[in-house]
Chain A
């Protein structure tokens, strides 16, 4: 009874909502791959490992998801496969950074290169193909709520999963034993080690898991966002995610905010393009990257040295138990 009342929009509101709601909805869709990547990187960095290979992992995830979905007919199989392949790439990074104590920055770059090349190479036979991909599932009651309904609750299952993931991680970091251990390893590996937490094991686990989640973000692009494969289709989203982790101060809820903000910029830019604006396409395409710099600048100026408080203290440095003071 009450629901039908909501459905009747008042005339004056119609125009504004008609413009804004689709953009917000697109913002959520567009921001989701970045959100996955950011969440994956947050848990990796919280363990103290810096993984700059996100762009490569996302591309590999996009390719794997697409090719498996295409061959098997099941998009979800594609998601699963993407996750697994992502963890494999995370394994390489973890091996180099944790066991071999290699330079984390260069290792991440190598993964980016490798992943970009591998995905282009393997994906060339799939260029231009389409798949049905993931379908939109409007949630029963929730999608009828004015404004919030269509924006958040009229999407595919991967987007809904991302909500759950954000909420889960918020709870996980503060209220669970493994979450506490994770934070300890990132903030003070020596203390964590002395208290019996396996620094090596923790770092391996979260690097792999994080990379898997990043790959799912990539898979989202080819399975749900465009439902196609194209070379270099992530267009730098992996790097934007790295910046977002800092902007989010390693907090999942803020990450969601940032990701949707980006999604919004991109959606806005796309709308402008299709609406036939005089602003040339390449200039519009610069917007997300300019925004990333802006966002990073903003947070760095505002927080100053305080940023270091949010960051896991041991980020980027290898851990070596028998090191003498």
Chain B
């Protein structure tokens, strides 16, 4: 009795949904084991996570608050990943967008709220877009690996932020904490229903819908999909791969930058050190878990929000640091990667001296 691995001919949608769920379950199980070793009861921990995030209206709203930037950045990342461009720099693009928005508040203040917000929006988008397009251009023109360049730009953006909040933009009344003075009301996005859910919610709903439409029904969306699946065939069909690399990176960075602006303008009200809790990286997990489908990104962002809100609770209640969430995220990715295997291949047992053919060879088959 031997086992062989062979690729699956077709994969049903059942597999596509069931396997990631199963992987998630396996990940949570191992996470439970991990928690146990940390001296925490997994059941208590998971229950605490769920009650904190879904148990009451406040928790739910906080989960949504976390899901908003994740969705937006997830869409940003999804766009570039669809073209097989690995934009790992979403974190830096968020930072740069936030910096640009803060600069607008600081230097171009007006009394009109809509004007203020629009300017911040545009500045954040442009800044994030350019930040990403730099890496895109280098990849397009000289085949410079975009994973490394976007990552390096992350670190540079982080330092840029530090420069501003520790230095010239620091709030003099903040007792030395690295943050800017709070934004005036005209620079703030509206909040809803007495919670902290802010105007970014609108974008978090529109963007997935928009890009689902674009990818599925427009010419440009078709081009992106072809370029991601087979760049050579794309070139052969006359598509301009190089120009699209830069364009897609720009848009991707712009969305991430705007996500940064929303975090500032809607939630935190000022620019401060470490304002983005690693959303840029979490978004990569979200996009990948969602298999690059816009609607799934919304769902996965929400689930991730649950994890993050729960994580904060665990930190307070059970004194588990936030880095444990990172460990859990890594484990989830491992299991999902493993699960992918079962989606693409299947294991068959082969018996030795059995010469029963499955079917006659069809005509025209190679070799």
A–B interface present (Cβ within 8 A): yes
Q: Which of A285-325 contact B (CB under 8 A)?
A: 285-286, 289-290, 292-293, 296-297, 300-301, 304-305, 307, 320, 322, 324-325
- B interface: dominant SS: helix
Give the nearest-CB partner of B143 in chain A: A300
Q: Tell me if B267 counts as interface (CB < 8 A to partner A).
A: no
Whether A121 pairs with B327 at a CB distance below 8 angstroms is yes
Whether B144 pairs with A300 at a CB distance below 8 angstroms is yes
Contacts of B162 in A (CB 8 A): 281-282, 285
For the complex, give the distance between the alpha carbons of A107 and B7 in Å.
Answer: 20
Contacts of B324 in A (CB 8 A): 117, 121
Q: Tell me if A109 counts as interface (CB < 8 A to partner B).
A: yes
Q: Which of A70-114 contact B (CB under 8 A)?
A: 92, 96, 100-103, 105-107, 109-114
For the complex, give the distance between the alpha carbons of A285 and B163 in Å.
Answer: 10
Give the nearest-CB partner of B331 in chain A: A114
Contacts of B151 in A (CB 8 A): 236, 239
Contact partner, A296, options B5, B86, B144, B344, Cβ 8 Å: B144
Number of interface residues of A (CB under 8 A): 52
Contacts of A114 in B (CB 8 A): 326-327, 329-331, 333-334
Contacts of A320 in B (CB 8 A): 5, 7
Chain B nearest CB from A152 CB (Å) reads 29
Whether B333 pairs with A110 at a CB distance below 8 angstroms is yes
For the complex, give the distance between the alpha carbons of A102 and B325 in Å.
Answer: 23
For the complex, give the distance between the alpha carbons of A307 and B144 in Å.
Answer: 11
Q: Tell me if B159 counts as interface (CB < 8 A to partner A).
A: yes
Contact partner, A113, options B6, B160, B326, Cβ 8 Å: B326
Contacts of A106 in B (CB 8 A): 288, 333, 337
Write out, one digit per residue, whether chain B residues 106-133 have a CB within 8 A of any chain A CB (1) or not (0): 0000000000000000000000000000
Contacts of B144 in A (CB 8 A): 296-297, 300
Contact partner, A301, options B142, B321, B323, Cβ 8 Å: B142
Across the A-B interface, the 3 shortest Cβ-Cβ residue pairs: A114-B330, A117-B326, A120-B323
Can you add 17 more A-B contacts, CB < 8 Å, to A100-B338, A109-B333, A324-B367?
A102-B340, A105-B86, A105-B147, A111-B330, A113-B326, A113-B329, A121-B321, A235-B155, A236-B151, A246-B145, A280-B166, A289-B152, A292-B152, A293-B153, A297-B142, A297-B144, A300-B144
